Structure 1
Amino acid sequence: MRKTTPGRSYRTFYSFLAAILLMGWLNPQAVQATPAAPTIHAQAAAVIDVTSGRLLYNLRGDETLPIASLTKIMTAIVAIEHGKLSDTVTVGRNAFAKEGSSIYLHMGEEMSLENMLYGLMLRSGNDAATAIAEHVGGSEEGFVYLMNEKAKMLGLMHTHFQNPHGLDAKGHYSTANDLAKLTSYALKNQQFKEIVRTPSKTAPNPNDPWDYKWLNKNKMLRFYDGADGVKTGYTKIAKRCLVSSATRGGQQIAVVTLNDGDDWNDHRKLLDYGFANYPLTTLIGEGQEIEQGLITGAEFKYALATEEASHIERRLKLTTARTGSFGYRGKISVLLNGEEIGTVPVYDKISYRPSGSGEGSEPRAGGAFGSASDRKLIRLPSDWSDAFKKVLQSLLFDVQ
């Protein structure tokens, strides 16, 4: 049997080490590191940038678990989208004296849908949830159908609802990742955003000489700088559940934890982690002239770690036919590590419509415009315009 000398072993080891280091030098992506996340106590967790919808962190993010009153995030957004805030909601026998957390509505009591939503989200009223569901959906079952249809529409593949309040029930579950995506969607609705950020709310009380006054159960609104939502939850089976959000420097981040006995402190850590490591960065500006006669139709922002800057790529895809509406000429695809993370429409400059006209940055992996035969792919040259150079520089220096 052939023996290996110590000198030869060392040479072999150092040669192997040198090869690994050389591979990393030639391919920086191979050694690209993810920022280290803090230690937390949750069974499952997720962190999301609200603007871009990018999941920044997850711990067992796709594990299906009971979610308690985090259910009411879906209840609220479905009610806002399907109901009329000025509607009068009447409390029926199913809502009256509903078990669990309550805003203590009386049988037959009438309240506006808007005020009912404040009672739902600030005090987690199960009676309010049931009354809202019966008013908006015609019945609790009808409303739950709308909730599950909304979950499908949002691509929440590991979520299913059995009721509008979150009391434990077989087949009622979600995941940290799905709840993060739902929250990101809901926070883009101005009415929802206003409700969940409200520290306290006063509403007319027809049964007593004093008004209702509801203090928000979400302590993050008082304990974390910039906090602006979202919802607490607890049942004996689900344990402590929390979704929080905060805005700093124009960036809003949301955090989800499920079954977390130290959720207030863990949310502080995870929000700090998101803001410190994934600043919202402008990658493309609205109205930027990209080449003679062409202009971008929207801005594109993305939560981006510093070490990811060199892995961003932009590709301009133009249609050969000019039959698109309002001078539409194609789109810029933005890629991170070769994967499309979003697109921005491109127009003829003379026919460009400013923001608010119905055009905007498009979601990731959007459909192609036109067939493959009437498109051409252009890699953007490094000197395409001084204006757009500034946008490229923002990748490194312009944190919004």
Structure 2
Amino acid sequence: MKFIMVILLALSMVLSNSPATYAEDKPTGLEPLPQVRGEGAYLIDVQSGQTLFSKNPNEQLAPASTTKIMTGLLAFERGNLNDIVTVSSTMLNSKLVYGTQVYLEPGEKMSLQDLLYAMLLNSANDAAVTVAEHIGGDVQSFVDLMNQRALEIGATQTHFVNPSGLTEKGHVTTAHDLALIARVAYQNPLFAQYVRTKSHGISRSKPDLPTQMVNENKLLWQDSDVDGIKTGYTSAAENCLVASMTKDGRQLIGVILKSPGREIYTDMQNLFDYGYTNYADKILKPAGSVLSTVMVNNEPVDLKIDRPIYLTQNLADQTPSSLTLKVIPSAGKLTTIKEGQEVAQMEVYDGSTLLDTLTLKAARTIIPQPPIKSSNPNYLSWLVGITLTGVLFLVLFRRKIDAERRSRRRILLTRRRESN
């Protein structure tokens, strides 16, 4: 009896200690929310544009040298890498040029290509100012271009005061805005090439000046999947980092602002681990999908996208995500259209957040045909013309004969009266 009681007690203990995880519906192996020590943080899926993680995403903070992402983007969009730039006397302005430098001297000549390597890899503030003067004409005009481009991207809480990121009142961004700017910048192939470069030598006209530019992004050296983007530090901004990782066909961009120490790299790695483990991309609409039609000369023409629309799904969430697609038609009525012509735009929304804007292109060509001119004579018109001419001739001829007859009668009557 005691033996049976022991067996029953043992079974009871086994059953009561069954792991609770077996009853959970959520998939196992998912990463918990990362603990980021920075004041602001953001993680974005580049393909879909959707947010995977955020911490104080709209808090305005100093960006330090991550500012140079925008400076570089404008240089690649507006400049010619082969341009030879003459360094100005602005280099002597210690209020505008200080901190990390490659020690450019007034009158020194350097290609725009090398200036950008110095700025994006070595984070040289003097190179940033020289780039700004070359592209914008002067620093203030270039800063105006920076703020204009930020608004175009949707970074509405960002305001730049200088091209380098040195501390100035009113020079602010947010983790959310910086992620948007980095996403757009990385879509420029030249920008992407530069920020994933580990080191690069530049040409200098004088000896004993820095020539080997080394990328300050430590993750780039530690993880082969990391492919950019930019670091930053000032005493006011503390440690800042924008980083990109591409793995398993997906690209993520992370932002951490105002982090107290070197743990910023560990926190960024944790952000990436969280994004790759907890989320997956699927193609919502493949490239070539027909998403709208337009009428051209009373004929329907399909409008297609030339790149896919992605949807990022949280693997722990059983409720499927959805996106809203909105067509922005072109103004005016189309009378001709060519295959591949950009006709309208497609905006992709996640709730009220604009994620992406794609171009809709015509699937075929329609050109109005000119009126067909017949090479055969119009016999009916010719016949009608001849008939009318004949009738008119007969009428006139008949009138002439009648007039002559009346004239003869008058003459005869006159002669008869005279003979009587």
TM above 0.5: yes
How many Å separate the matches in 1 of 2:33 and 2:170?
32
Q: Which residue of 2 aligns with 1:46?
A: 42
Q: Which residue of 2 aligns with 1:280?
A: 281
Q: Which residue of 2 aligns with 1:383?
A: none
SS of equivalent to 2:217: coil
1:55 partnered with 2:56 = no
Residues 146 and 339 of structure 1, relative CA distance in 2, 3 Å threshold: closer
Taking the TM superposition and a 5 Å limit, the aligned residue runs for 1:245-284 are 245-260=244-259, 261=261, 262-284=263-285
Shift of 1:62: 0.2
Q: 1:95 aligns with which of 91, 113, 116?
A: 91
SS of equivalent to 2:89: coil
Q: Which residue of 1 aligns with 2:10?
A: none
Shift of 1:221: 0.5
Q: Which residue of 2 aligns with 1:85?
A: 81
Paired amino acid for 2:52: L
Q: Which residue of 2 aligns with 1:303?
A: 312
* Greater shift in the superposed pair: 178-187 or 50-59: 50-59
SS of equivalent to 1:95: helix
SS of equivalent to 2:182: helix
How many Å separate the matches in 1 of 2:328 and 2:136?
45
Q: Which residue of 2 aligns with 1:217?
A: 216
Taking the TM superposition and a 5 Å limit, the aligned residue runs for 1:147-296 are 147-208=146-207, 212-260=211-259, 261=261, 262-287=263-288, 296=304
Paired amino acid for 2:250: Q
SS of equivalent to 1:282: strand
Shift of 1:245: 0.6
How many Å separate the matches in 2 of 1:280 and 1:120?
34
Taking the TM superposition and a 5 Å limit, the aligned residue runs for 1:376-387 are none
Shift of 1:326: 4.4
TM-score between both structures, scaled by the size of structure 2: 0.67
1:125 partnered with 2:134 = no
How many Å separate the matches in 2 of 1:56 and 1:221?
22
Shift of 1:287: 3.3
Consecutive unaligned residues of structure 1, counting only runs of 5 or more, are: 1-33, 353-400
How many Å separate the matches in 1 of 2:78 and 2:358?
30
Residues 194 and 323 of structure 1, relative CA distance in 2, 3 Å threshold: same
TM-score between both structures, scaled by the size of structure 1: 0.70
How many Å separate the matches in 2 of 1:38 and 1:76?
30
Q: Which residue of 2 aligns with 1:27?
A: none
Q: Which residue of 2 aligns with 1:376?
A: none
Consecutive unaligned residues of structure 2, counting only runs of 5 or more, are: 1-29, 293-300, 367-420
Paired amino acid for 2:42: A
Residues 138 and 336 of structure 1, relative CA distance in 2, 3 Å threshold: closer
Q: Deviations over 1:325-369 (max 9, x none)?
A: 4479999887767988668777886669xxxxxxxxxxxxxxxxx
Paired amino acid for 1:94: T
- Contact 1:95-1:126 within 8 A present in 2 as well: no
Paired amino acid for 2:51: L
Q: Deviations over 1:93-137 (max 9, x none)?
A: 212573100112223111111110010010100010111111111
Residues 317 and 174 of structure 1, relative CA distance in 2, 3 Å threshold: closer
- Contact 1:314-1:332 within 8 A present in 2 as well: no
How many Å separate the matches in 1 of 2:67 and 2:79?
18
* Greater shift in the superposed pair: 334-343 or 270-279: 334-343
- Contact 1:78-1:147 within 8 A present in 2 as well: yes
Shift of 1:165: 0.6
SS of equivalent to 1:267: helix
- Contact 2:88-2:106 within 8 A present in 1 as well: yes
Taking the TM superposition and a 5 Å limit, the aligned residue runs for 1:310-349 are 310-312=320-322, 325-326=337-338
Paired amino acid for 1:58: S
Residues 308 and 325 of structure 1, relative CA distance in 2, 3 Å threshold: farther
- Contact 1:50-1:187 within 8 A present in 2 as well: no
Aligned identity (percent) is 34
Residues 253 and 182 of structure 1, relative CA distance in 2, 3 Å threshold: same
Q: How many residues are aligned here?
A: 318
- Contact 1:311-1:337 within 8 A present in 2 as well: no
Paired amino acid for 1:297: I
Taking the TM superposition and a 5 Å limit, the aligned residue runs for 1:356-395 are none
Structure of larger gyration radius = 2
Q: Which residue of 1 aligns with 2:14?
A: none
Q: Which residue of 2 aligns with 1:104?
A: 103
- Contact 2:328-2:347 within 8 A present in 1 as well: no
How many Å separate the matches in 2 of 1:309 and 1:159?
34
Paired amino acid for 2:35: T
- Contact 1:118-1:195 within 8 A present in 2 as well: yes
Residues 116 and 317 of structure 1, relative CA distance in 2, 3 Å threshold: closer
CA RMSD of aligned residues (A): 3.4
Shift of 1:272: 1.3
* Greater shift in the superposed pair: 217-226 or 206-215: 206-215
Q: Which residue of 1 aligns with 2:11?
A: none
